[in-house]
Every structure is written in structure tokens, then in C-alpha cells.
Structure 1
């Protein structure tokens, strides 16, 4: 009989993370209690933090519907929206937060009737409750370098991560760079997969893509400070006869790109809508800055871009090396502009699609299941 899971991750729903992709597939033959984000930093008095805190306080504590309007939550998965103290720093605060979580989760876990559950956490701050929920195995899924991740209380999270690593029975890392940080005796490399069928199956062109006959360079994902906006702005200036389309919630630096007449910011889109863009623009962009966070990342969109079949143009970072045959790696705006011009007339590339066709989330989940069952 498969062991069930208690999962500490981000909020369920919206654009799916690697954890959500994996857990959704594991839920086919396991019961899951999914605990929405308990935070990686203390909240501030900003508008966004206040809105998020209010949402946490007013959302139902238990739901089987999640937040996504387009991708139903599996029946075997129970979503919990806990109230707790995010990333407390003092020992008293940690004990108080752990007690709050235990008291909220214990009756939900009991009602779920889990079989010999494994505790899985993608958040180091869950270590304080890791031995209080009736689990006998602990899995740490490390998808980011938290020591350099923006918007994180680095000192607090680094301390929790060290404690978590010492306790974990299995550590999973999403990139080679992260893999080298941990002891190899209980660490396994689990690179991101791809929903290959979704991104490779031809679909209609999105109606809000620019339709003025110009080639389109596109990006979707987090429009945060880890994109090289200086390089992007110069590239956009060098290619006035191109459209540049950005999908995602923009930061201030991203909003500043709107000063260019050939830039379109479309805002966030649902995951299932993305192929309607990436299959129909001329080239996909990965314009990252060179920092520790990017060196450790393995972006989901890399394999999704490749599966869509359009040319991919990227700044250099370790995870892209596996696909150098199919990715144009550029160092500056002039090289990016040249790569885009070369990409303008290229047909969909079946070879790059084949290169990622075996790296599906189903295949990743199957390998993961063997590791979990061996605990």
C-alpha cells in the first residue's frame, strides 16, 4: 500500500510549481494533505502583505477545490490554509507557531485517515513542526537557493534549512548546483519535468498576441528583479520592427519597459493558456541576470519553451547547458538582437521537441515514487 503525504508548499492553485506537478501525479494513488504556504519571511505593512494576510485570515481553512479555476484539485487531496506566524525568529515564536500549526493540522490529518504518512516540505520553515504530525519519514524538496532568493528572510531560512537537512531522510534537488550543496548519501537529483503533451500539441493562437505582421519575442513567468532589464531595454531599442510580449505580474522594472512602443505587457495567464502564446511567437526568451539564485535555478519554462518548438534565446546559466544544441546563448543585447533576427524565419523545431519528450512530469513522478516507497 502506498504511503500518503503531508505536503508543505506554496499556495495550491495558480501557475503550478514543480511540487504541484509532482504531487498532483502522486495523488493518483495516495492521499495528500497539502498545507498552503507558511511563509519564508515576516510580513511588513506594505499593501501586498496586508492583502495576503487578509486573504489568509478570511479563506476557508480546509478546501478540496484549491485556487485554480482551470485545473481541478484531485479528490484525494485536501488543501489546508493555516493561520500561523510566518518565519518567526525567536525560539518562543517558533514554538508558538509550531503549536498553532499542530493544533490546526492534527484533526485534519486524523480525519484524512492517512496511511503511514511521509512529511514533504518545500519550505525550510516547516522544520519546527516536522516531528509533531505523526510522520516517520521526512523529505526536503529543494527547488531554490534560499540564501539568495529575493523576498526571503535569509538568515532565518538558512538556519531552518540547516536543521531540516540534518533531519531529512531524503533530499531532492531541482538542479545540479543545488545537488552539490548537500551530502550525497540521502540526496537525489530530480530536475524539473514538462507537460509535454500540453506544450507540443498544436493549439490556436492567443487572440491578444500582437497581430501587426511583426515577429514576436516572448517571455512568460515571474517578471521580477532577476531578469536583465537593462539588456532587454537595449535589445528592444535595437529591434524596433519586433514586438516584445511579456506575460506575468510585472515588477516596477518590468513596467518601465512599457515606455517602448513595441512592448506589450499582458499580465498573468493560466498555465493551460501558455502554449497559445509560446507556439505562435517567433522566439522564447530567458533573459536572466547572472546571480546565485539563477545559477541554482532550473526554470520550468525552459523545457516548456523547447516543447513548444520555437527558437529559445537565453543568457548563460548552468541548467541551460543540457540543451545548448537547441538554445542560443547570448551575453549581451547585440548578441540577443542577432539571435532574434536569425530566429525570425525558423520553422518549428521537431528535434528540440524530441529532446524533452522523455522528460515528462509523469516520468519524474514515477522515479520519485520509487524513492518514496524505499524510505
Structure 2
């Protein structure tokens, strides 16, 4: 069983799909986890400057896991680097900086010929320089459509990453279609079935004023349809609308209405304390290239939690369409929410075969073949 070096998102906070997969692999495998090396160059604003400095000094962002939350076989590394370098000189400098830090760490942990797993295309320049026995590129998003990314720079890195990879894994059919068919496989997101289906106590800050609640958790970003949310909240003054998650916008984009409540981000293991107790789960997405390619983690988590789901259309819904109320307008969403009063709770059996444990078993079989 070969060890691994994993380039992923910053470990901790809301766990990524890569974190879920790695946590369920056998603990005999030593894993060097490299926190995010970035997908875009910083702009001249305070937030980006802080983020750039943190990368240059190797500091993780807030929300990083404490040692007690990190599996014993996982060693986390924060590299000093240049985020998403574009020029030849900056790419060579970034590569040299990272190799000078990584190679001694691999030697210290007696890791030879590891499998290199990357969830970021900006790792491409390191491929072939870490004495790796194979390369897996796991693409969970369409980076060409992802907001807040240097699309041209990332596209160049991704093209090289795909060429270097022995195997490419895509989180959706749309993502897989971008890559060579002879080395690309579908690896959909999974779900922690037990966490989201076993009864959880209601959160202390959950609104309890007798109104039905429609809830959403996830980032407040530009792929949410705030006009739709505004119209639906106006149409249903007898409902409350609850939003949970980090705000990625420079301002609070939620409509300023009395029945819209924003609670900020919550730990992942506390989300069932909300989603099991609201009347309906929301997926109010815009229709854009990113959403057409997405396979949101929260869809399966919503299904496991059991509340009726009301969503705008996107391809990943098709497999679960008979369990989701798909709507095209604010009027349809308002009517669908009213009808959820008469819908029974879903059974977690719907997603029993989609557990992260099952996904990791599939990944383990692939690792043994590399």
C-alpha cells in the first residue's frame, strides 16, 4: 500500500470532497496533505493582500482543524508559495519554493514513490519532481466557470495537469466530458449518511416563532439567485428563510427583509441541527456554466436529512428528480414551498449507496491499480 501526497483545499472548516475521501481510506497509508496553494493571483484589496501574505508565509486560513481533528496518518503542510503563477519565471520560482519545502518533509516521513493526488490544477508544475509513482487529478469543479479564479492561468495549468495525470476523476458528467475519455472516470460526491440521517437536536439559534422555515447552507456567492430569493420571500411573508454559510461577496447579498435570516458559517457536524428541523431545503441557483457542471455536496446531505427539497434545475438533479421539486420561477418556488406542508420526509435509504465510505472504497481500488 503506497503512501500519498495530497494537494487539496485548506484542511478543516467545511470539509471538501477530497477530505471526506481521504478520511475513509485505510489508516495504514501515510498521507502528506498540502493545504491550498491557490487558484488566482491576489488583487489590490485588503482581503486578497492578507491571503497572499498568508501563502507567502505558509499560514492556513481561519477554520483550520485542530490536531485532535486530523487523522493520525495525515500530516498537514502549509507551503510558502506564489498563488497561481502565470509567467514562466514566477512558475519556476513557485515550483522551486515548494520543492525545497516538500522534499525534506517526504524524506523526514520516509515516503518514497508516493501517489500524487491533486484537487488543484495549479500543482501541474510539481508533477514528475516528487518521485511519485503515479498522478491522479481529481476535478470537483469546472474551473473555467468558477468565480474568483484566474481562468486563463488555471486553464494553462489544468491542460498540463491532465497530460501528466495517469488518471483523471471528475465529480460530474459535464466535468468528465472536458477530459480525455481514455483516462477519465466519474467520481460523484458522496454523503455522510449517518451524520445527516440520525436524529440531531435542534440548534439553539434556530428560529422558533411558529413559521415554516425554508433553509439553505453553503457559500453566499454569485451563483445564488438573490432576485429569486427576494421575490419568494416577498410572496411568502408567513415563511422564514434561513441562510447558513460563509459570505464570499464584498457585501451581504441577501435581501433586507424581515423574514430572511443569516446565521453565518456553522461547523459541518452541526448542519443536521438545522437541516433536519426546517420545513424545506433550498437550492436557489442561477443557471450558468458553473452550476450546469456542479454536483453540490449539499444535495445528497439534504436528501439524507429528509426535508423536502425545492431547487432550480441543473443536470446533477436528474438522478434524484423524483425526490426534488424542480422549479423555474419565483411563483413556482413559492407554490412548491407551500406544497411541502403535505410532503412526507424522505428516507435516507435514497442515498444509502452514495456514502463517502463507498466512494472511498472505489478510490482505494483505483489507487491499487496506479
For the aligned pair, the TM-score class normalised by the smaller chain equals over 0.9
**Alignment size in residue pairs:** 368
In 2, Cα distance between the equivalents of 1:332 and 1:349?
24
Q: Please give the per-residue CA displacement for 1:310-356, whole angstroms capped at 9, x wherever unaligned.
A: 00111100001000010000001000000100113433222xx2110
Q: Is residue 2:122 matched to residue 1:125?
A: yes
CA shift in 2, pair 1:57/1:153, >3 Å = closer
CA shift in 2, pair 1:363/1:228, >3 Å = same
User: Cα RMSD (Å) of the superposition?
Assistant: 1.7
- Residue 44 of structure 2 corresponds to 45
Q: What is the Cα deviation at residue 88 of structure 1? A: 1.1
- Residue 340 of structure 1 corresponds to 337
- Residue 360 of structure 1 corresponds to 355
- Residue 82 of structure 1 corresponds to 79
Q: What is the Cα deviation at residue 70 of structure 1? A: 9.9
Q: TM-score, normalised by structure 2?
A: 0.96
- Residue 307 of structure 2 corresponds to 310
In 2, Cα distance between the equivalents of 1:268 and 1:325?
30
Quick check: 1:229–1:254 contact (8 Å CA) kept in 2?
no
Q: What is the Cα deviation at residue 254 of structure 1? A: 7.5
Q: Is residue 2:145 matched to residue 1:148?
A: yes
In 2, Cα distance between the equivalents of 1:127 and 1:58?
22
SS at match of 1:208: coil
In 1, Cα distance between the equivalents of 2:88 and 2:276?
51
Quick check: 2:56–2:82 contact (8 Å CA) kept in 1?
no
Runs of 4+ in 1 over 4 A off after TM superposition: 57-61, 251-254
The gaps in structure 2 that reach 5 residues or longer are none
The residue correspondences of 1:98-113 to structure 2 (distance < 5 A) are 98-113=95-110
SS at match of 1:101: helix
- Pick from 221, 242, 245: which aligns with 2:239? 242
Q: Is residue 2:214 matched to residue 1:233?
A: no
Q: TM-score, normalised by structure 1?
A: 0.95
Q: Please give the per-residue CA displacement for 1:58-108, whole angstroms capped at 9, x wherever unaligned.
A: 5669xxxx9225971011111000001111111111111100000000001
Quick check: 2:215–2:281 contact (8 Å CA) kept in 1?
yes
Q: Please give the per-residue CA displacement for 1:217-252, whole angstroms capped at 9, x wherever unaligned.
A: 000011100001111110010000000000012245
The gaps in structure 1 that reach 5 residues or longer are none
Greater alpha carbon shift after TM alignment, 23-32 vs 250-259: 250-259
In 1, Cα distance between the equivalents of 2:287 and 2:251?
17
Quick check: 2:245–2:265 contact (8 Å CA) kept in 1?
yes
Quick check: 2:220–2:249 contact (8 Å CA) kept in 1?
no
CA shift in 2, pair 1:365/1:154, >3 Å = same
Q: What is the Cα deviation at residue 274 of structure 1? A: 0.1
In 2, Cα distance between the equivalents of 1:254 and 1:32?
38
CA shift in 2, pair 1:344/1:55, >3 Å = farther
In 1, Cα distance between the equivalents of 2:270 and 2:67?
10
